[in-house]
């Protein structure tokens, strides 16, 4: 076979493939895609908002410190690691819920996670060498009670509640 024959065969095959693709696209356009009505997804959305409210509560500094402080007697570095890992696990566990909520709601939760991790790292870095986990927790609770940034989880909770109420209407 010469080059002309091979190129002719390849051209015909490409033409047939393109024709088939055009035919399939037209068929797919004719077949309606079943979309779920808002009433079918509403329970999933509300459940997602419930879970994200729980996430915001659990990674809020007061609750996080309260849970981690139970029967812990290690160093501040160990407590820092425990707190950061707890935030990461909670966030990762609920990451799939982002498909049911608004991008704004998910971004608020992501910002809460990042902010709390930053606060924990900064407070831990400010402690003297030899500080205990109790010392770190005490400073974190003081921060949460006195600083506006320490109550960011309350703002996120309000935003989630507002959006959930919009879904319920």
Q: Let me know if 53 is exposed, middle or buried by CB neighbors in 10 A (0-12, 13-18, 19+).
A: middle
The predicted pLDDT at position 14 comes to 57
- Domain count of the chain? 2
Q: Give the span between the Cα atoms of 1 and 82, in whole angstroms.
A: 71
Walk along the chain (169 residues) and give the pLDDT tens digit of each residue.
665 666 556 566 555 555 556 566 666 666 554 555 556 788 999 999 999 999 999 999 999 999 888 777 789 999 999 999 999 999 999 999 999 999 999 999 999 999 999 999 999 999 999 999 999 999 999 998 887 766 788 888 898 989 999 888 8
Contact criterion met (CB below 8 Å) for 112 and 152: yes
Q: Give the span between the Cα atoms of 66 and 79, in whole angstroms.
A: 12
> Do 71 and 138 fall within a single domain?
yes
> Do 100 and 160 fall within a single domain?
yes
Q: Give the span between the Cα atoms of 125 and 103, in whole angstroms.
A: 33
Range of the domain at 8: 1-34
The predicted pLDDT at position 31 comes to 56
Residue 128 has what DSSP assignment? P
Cα–chain-centroid distance for residue 65?
21
> Do 64 and 8 fall within a single domain?
no
> Do 154 and 115 fall within a single domain?
yes
The predicted pLDDT at position 68 comes to 86
Q: Taking each helix axis from N to C terminus, what angle separates 38-59 and 76-93, rounded to the nearest 10 degrees?
A: 180
The predicted pLDDT at position 21 comes to 60
Q: Taking each helix axis from N to C terminus, what angle separates 38-59 and 103-126, rounded to the nearest 10 degrees?
A: 10
């Amino acid at each position: 076979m010469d080059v002309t024959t091979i190129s002719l065969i390849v051209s015909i095959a490409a033409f047939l493939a393109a024709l088939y693709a055009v035919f399939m696209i037209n068929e797919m356009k004719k077949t309606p895609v079943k979309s779920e009505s808002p009433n079918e997804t509403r329970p999933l959305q509300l459940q997602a908002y419930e879970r994200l409210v729980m996430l915001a509560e659990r990674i809020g500094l007061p609750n996080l410190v309260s849970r981690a402080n139970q029967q812990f007697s290690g160093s501040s570095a160990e407590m820092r690691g425990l707190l950061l890992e707890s935030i990461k696990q909670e966030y990762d566990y609920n990451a799939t819920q982002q498909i049911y909520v608004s991008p704004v709601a998910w971004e608020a939760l992501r910002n809460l996670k990042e902010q709390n991790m930053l606060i924990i790292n900064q407070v831990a870095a400010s402690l003297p060498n030899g500080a205990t986990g109790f010392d770190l927790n005490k400073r974190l609770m003081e921060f949460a009670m006195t600083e506006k940034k320490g109550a960011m989880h309350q703002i996120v909770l309000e935003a989630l509640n507002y959006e959930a109420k919009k879904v319920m209407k």
